[in-house]
Amino acid sequence: MSGVSSVLTGNRRVREGQSVNDVNLSGRCIAVLGMGIMGRSMVRNLARAGAEVVVWNRTIDTARKMAGGAIRVVATPAQAARTADIRIIVVADSQALADVVLGSEGVLAGLNGRGLVIDMGTSSVNATHELAAQVAAAGGEYLDAPVSGGERGASAATLSIMVGGSELAYATALPILQALGQNIRRIGKVGAGQVAKAANQIIVGLTIEAVAEALALARAAGVDPARVREVLAGGFADSRILHLHGQRMLEGDYSPGGRALTQRKDLELALALAADCGLELPATSLCRERYDELIAAGRGDCDHSALAVLYPPLDPEN
């Protein structure tokens, strides 16, 4: 299931696990629990692929805004779990995930010894192992499948999806995941997806910091940072963060795609995992401190690229 074979789809050669989103989910009933930025886009894409989608959110009015057509709202996670045999959970953190799964009207209460639970949020590896064990004890299967790509990727169904779990559970989930992303990989056993996401968030956080510092240096030195960004984009320093978040920094547009609070939480998870492994990550620790400064300045709900405002040359208020 996690090999590197490829198949020809239309005019595109697609590596195993990837998708061109020509997915037909007619006749499938899928539950999505959590109607944040990512969850809402996932619901729309699953419905677009033909699935019936059952949705739940802690704030029920937020879920009701999604209702209509193939999308219907239920009152509890347990009801969602009873209705669908694929349950996708997209919530803010490990505690919220545990509440949704283990609460008195949680997913576990409605599992009925069947089906699959997929955590597509970013959670701790320890919590993932504990919840997977409880789901298995109840007769279900569990995948951790965190994503990268932000709001744009969720909306366009181009997310990268990092999966931990058994090959059988991965095979069951793959058609659903292919409606949500285009780079899908089983990394290893349960927990491996969250390890990959921790690595992803280290690179994202440190690269945002690097781009902010570079553009601030250009402006402070009297050089147009937009021109610097353009030429860097053609060389070894190129990255999606330089393209997308570099532009945000130049425009001062920090409407949230991925919130600074979330980025800080994810760096904390990475550092906790490193500590469990007996590993020090000094640059990641420094980056977390920069996000602490941003949050203390009242910018926690801004996009994580707002780290740039900590540098006066890039702060639109200066």
Q: Percent of the chain beyond pLDDT 90?
A: 88
Domain range summary for the chain, segments of one domain joined by +: 6-189, 196-314
Residues 6+ apart with CB under 8 A from 66: 35, 40, 43, 55, 73
For the chain, the straight-line distance linking the first and the last C-alpha, in angstroms and rounded, comes to 53
- Confidence at residue 18, expressed as pLDDT on a 0 to 100 scale: 61
* Other C-beta atoms lying within 10 Å of the C-beta of residue 216: 19
Return the closest-CA partner of residue 94 out of 205, 194, 204: 194
Strand partners, 12: 9
Would you tell me how many other CB atoms lie within 10 Å of the CB of residue 119? Answer: 31
The pLDDT of residue 277 is 98
Q: Which residues of the chain have pLDDT under 70?
A: 1-20
Q: The domain 196-314: what is its CATH number? A: 1.10.1040.10
**Cα–Cα distance, 84 to 121 (Å, whole number):** 19
Chain centroid offset of residue 270 CA? 15
Is the domain 6-189 a CATH 3.40.50.720 member? yes
* Predicted confidence (pLDDT) per residue in 45-61, tens digit: 999 999 999 999 999 99
The catalytic residue positions are 197
